Amino acid sequence: MNNDDKELKERLAKLRKEAEDRLAKERAERIENVFKQYEKIGKFTLENIEWMCSLPQLPKDVWDSRFVPLLIKLGAIPKAELVVGRTYKGFCRNASEAVWDGERFTYQRTKFGCTFPEKINHFEDDDGYDVFTPVFLMEEN
């Protein structure tokens, strides 16, 4: 390998490292901005959950260690406090009410003019897809 090739390899390695560092910094800043936005909410209310439809995508470790506790602090109901068979007001991409079955939520989904029951995980069980965030226990009829 001649000097020109060696210098080119070193320059490329340096540029790659700079790009990776810049991306890592931007990713960390985006994550912190998500937390700032949610912390501004204060506590969940019927009014401020009306505009919510989905939660941010975060790395699993950040989700579990920081975001789940933040949701609970804001008023989301932890899995351990849910009652089987009860309906909860909350939010996900396709519903604002869902029934807890002890493992997952079920809600009525309408798609292409058809309505059918669909299951969805609680926010503590994020699997990379949409999750339901229960905030209020609905009154029984």
* 69-105 per-position pLDDT tens digit: 999 999 999 999 999 999 999 999 999 999 999 999 9
Dist CA 75 CA 42 (whole Å): 9
Whole-model pTM: value is 0.82
* Residue 41: predicted pLDDT: 84
Task: Assign 1 a pLDDT band (cuts: 50, 70, 90).
Answer: low
Task: Assign 141 a pLDDT band (cuts: 50, 70, 90).
Answer: low
What does the mean pLDDT of the chain come to? 91
* Residue 86: predicted pLDDT: 97
Domain boundary assignment for the chain? 42-137
Please report the beta strands in 9-141, taking only residues with DSSP state E, as ranges in sequence order.
87-91, 97-100, 105-111, 114-122, 131-137
